[in-house]
Structure formats: structure tokens, C-alpha cells
Chains A and B, each alone.
Chain A
């Protein structure tokens, strides 16, 4: 059974701080890794994709991938109250393309 694990939180950070979200996955054949943001009652919205080991930065967001440790993380710098949402880690093995999602980490950014 392929699994993606995340701490469910809630993770609470003050406005302006760095939020660090972590994810581990069980399938070593995984090739594509995604972070989605989901507001309550809404659909997943893509934040970042990452395909190779190392860091990938996009504005205030940095995704980090370590395939040897089967670990993906997302850093959010200068967190804003509007970043408060559930962050979903998703992994694909690129065979059929299906995404396997983690439970999500609820982030709360306090003004």
C-alpha cells in the first residue's frame, strides 16, 4: 500500500514567520511531487511541483526533495494570515499518473 504521511497539525505560526511543512512517502518509485493548498470546502490548488532532488523556490515558497530519505518539505517564508489553509502533499509514480495524497497539514498564521 503506497502511503504519504503528513503531520495533521494544526501548525500555528505568527505572521511573518517561516512555516515548515513535512511529508514522507513510502514508494521509492515515486517521480513527481506536489504541494497543494486547500481552503475549507474548496478544491486543491497547486502551490509547487518538484521532480528532482534539492530545493525549488517560487516567491515565498521553497520545496525541498530528498529521494534517498523519501522526504518532501515546503517552507513558507514571511507567512501571512491568508496562508492559513490545509497543505496537501501529493506524490505520483508516473505510471498511470494518479496522485496519492497525504492527510494534509492544517496551517494557522496568527496576525
Chain B
């Protein structure tokens, strides 16, 4: 069964460093998303991506964040200068050909900023 994959599973970084989180969505999906979940809190939407551009972003997704689909299979989230409060679980999700279809989540990357 196709699934969303994410790498790395864990990332520890120093405050101010850049991190890139990688995702491989399900191959025939067209909509891609990043969410994050701070420990003990709800899952929060960061950004959606369709047709090679951002379709929506949340207030959390400020200038420190960027997304890219560099090669038609990978979907990346970059945090340019990490802050302590960026420590969270980051989930990539993808969905099919229609907006509002079921989103399938990857296993997540646990990011710890020291």
C-alpha cells in the first residue's frame, strides 16, 4: 500500500541553524501539506502546496519557513534559523486529485532545537 515517507525521523539542531525536513508523498497525489504538533498540543496546519506553488499558509508559516518540491517526488520544509519554539513533531501529508480528499500522513520528523 502506498504511503508517505519522511526523513529524518529525528533531528537535533542548535538554535539558529537551518534544517530541512524531507517528505516523499504518495506518487499520484497532487496536494501536499505540512503540519506540526508541539508536545501535548493539537496538530496545527502550516502550509499547503498544489501545482508547484503554495496554496495556503498559516500565521505560523512566517519568513523563516519555506517549502519546495525540487524534483517531482520530494517535498521539503526548510526552517532557516531555528528557534527553541520550533521544537515539535512535523508531519507531511498528501491527498489525491480533489481538494478535501482524505489526507494521508507520514510518520513524522521529531525536531528538537537546543
Contact = CB atoms under 8 A, between A and B. Distances in A.
A97 B48 contact: yes
Interface in A55-111: 88, 90, 92, 94-104
Contacts of B91: 43-44
A68 to B, nearest CB: 20
Interface string B93-109: 10100011111111110
Q: Which 4 A-B pairs have the closest CB atoms?
A: A96-B56, A94-B100, A97-B99, A32-B100
Contacts of B35: 99
Given A32-B100, A88-B43, A92-B100, A97 B31 contact: yes
Contacts of B58: 98
B99 A104 contact: no
Interface residues of A, number: 25
Interface string B45-68: 100101000011010000000000
Q: Among the interface residues A42, A44, A100, which one has the most CB atoms of the partner chain B within 10 A?
A: A44
Given A96-B48, A97-B56, 18 more contacts: A42-B107, A43-B89, A43-B91, A43-B105, A46-B104, A90-B43, A92-B100, A94-B100, A97-B50, A98-B33, A98-B48, A98-B56, A98-B58, A99-B43, A99-B45, A99-B93, A102-B42, A104-B42
B18 interface: no
A86 B99 CA distance: 26
A96 B99 contact: yes
Contacts of B48: 96-98
